[in-house]
Structure 1
Amino acid sequence: MKLTIGHLYPDLLNLYGDRGNIQCLMKRCQWRGIEAETIVFELGDAIDFSNLDIVLLGGGSDREQMLVNDELKKIQPDFKAYVEDYGVVIAICGGYQLLGKYYKTEQGTVTGLDLVDLYTEQESPRLIDNIVLKSDLFDMPVVGFENHGGRTYINDNQPFGKVLYGAGNDGISGCEGVVYKNVIGTYLHGPLLPKNPQVTDYLIAKALERKYEKEIVLEPLEDEEEREANRYICQRFVKESKNLENSP
């Protein structure tokens, strides 16, 4: 079996160490004997989504996001077709915002890629903290760090998870991220995948199932250190938060 990962514009969208997400995907494939390759795309490169099994869209500054947004609008129908055909996408922070209908800033409203029914509006203050989620997709919490000024509203879509600690999409709803078909959009970085092997394996399995049209059960890997780190983060932040809520 083989997977091809498309890393879109890492020269512009690597503000939060998203190359670490690529390395994690590659390694967890290789450790299982799954052949994996990454194709890096820069502005002006032709993208054939039919040749890709996983697409990573990272985060960048507002200026860099707009450059990428303008570039991807040229091939929006192809990207949309990939998404609707259950192509696997992981979109982080700014990449998450680009998935939606629009992004509103103090300077005006920028039309997004309209791949998922969501929108983002810039507000103050920035939401900056560690974050812990309970996601229906996994048997252990998802952990990471958030740092975003945008408030993202996902309408009737499924959230990536419920916030146990942190702010999430908008600081109010208690939801974080979005899941649409095989697309995950999230504000979590750190980077996300090395901290959360369960998320990495979910993406790998979904990509293999789509490509080979059969159910995939991945061989378990030795993840005790990662699980212990996850338990520590949850105990530290979620427990502290509950203690504060219960204090007089």
Structure 2
Amino acid sequence: TPTWLKGLVKGTGTSEEKRSSVASGVDQSPANRKVDEAKWACTTLLQFSCGSQASPLFRPLGGSWSVIYEALARHPAPVPPAASAALRAAAEFVQGAKSRELRLQFALLVHTDEAALSRFVGDVEGAIVLLCKAASNSDPLLSEEGLLGQWRSDIEAFRRRCREIWELYMYFVFLDVKGDRALLRMVSRQLLNLLEVTPSGLVANLSHTGPWAQPALQILAKGMGASLLERRHRQALEEWHSAVQAATAKACESAAGAKGGRDLGAE
């Protein structure tokens, strides 16, 4: 496992078994092994980013993985070893968020560990370039310019999602220290929606964020996150005010309806 994955990737042994089972009964020449490994990696990446079981963190990357997998399935040309290794590393990287309880931790790591994310992005871009060159323009799906453009667009959406979660976490820590229960409940609901977990699942996710809690408190204590907190606080108050107005309007409608019913009954 590459150095940048240590401490993040779990279950690599299981992954090895899966890769072996994919190739069971097939001619295991070096070229075939690389194709099988690349397909296994893309299958894993698709499972994380597409379909009903997809992780909300990785859905923005689904388009890129779908194109790469389809191209490999339609045109199983020899896969460059470096491309296969990069796709394998990418598949192992995303398994850091395989457990629902680790989604928040993974999003925080992606946002705060720029070196890890840059290595992941760079390796995948390198794999795309190598796969496109290996196809020798014989497959329109593997257009280097088009696929790199899609990947960069997808990864930017992925970055934004992780940053959104990190900002909410920072604001959550601030509200927790402040003791603002009303806004804390609102931010909790936002995290629930972004991570797609239950309330108990959010508690489990928060229990894994110890390495980020202390730095968050230090940032807040030094006033370094003032602009972030101000923006988040303004947005939260606006949302809270809108929610109160909506609840009040609904209560008034219900009261008016009940009164109308009583008036008709009296007649």
TM-score with structure 2 setting the length: 0.29
Normalized per residue, the structure richer in helix is 2
Structure ranking higher in strand proportion: 1
Scaled by the length of structure 1, what TM-score is found? 0.30
